[in-house]
Structure 1
Amino acid sequence: MKILRDTLRLMVGQPPYEVYLAHMARHHPGEEPMSRVEFFRNREAARFGGAGGGKCC
Structure 2
Amino acid sequence: MMPVAQQVLLDLPALATLAQGGDPTGAGPVAKVVMSLGLLVVIVLLLRALWHQRGR
Q: Same fold (TM over 0.5)?
A: no
Between structures 1 and 2, the one with greater helix share? 2
Q: Please, what TM-score do these two structures have when normalized by structure 2?
A: 0.32
Q: Please, what TM-score do these two structures have when normalized by structure 1?
A: 0.31
Highest relative contact order (Cα 8 Å, sep 6+), 1 or 2? 2
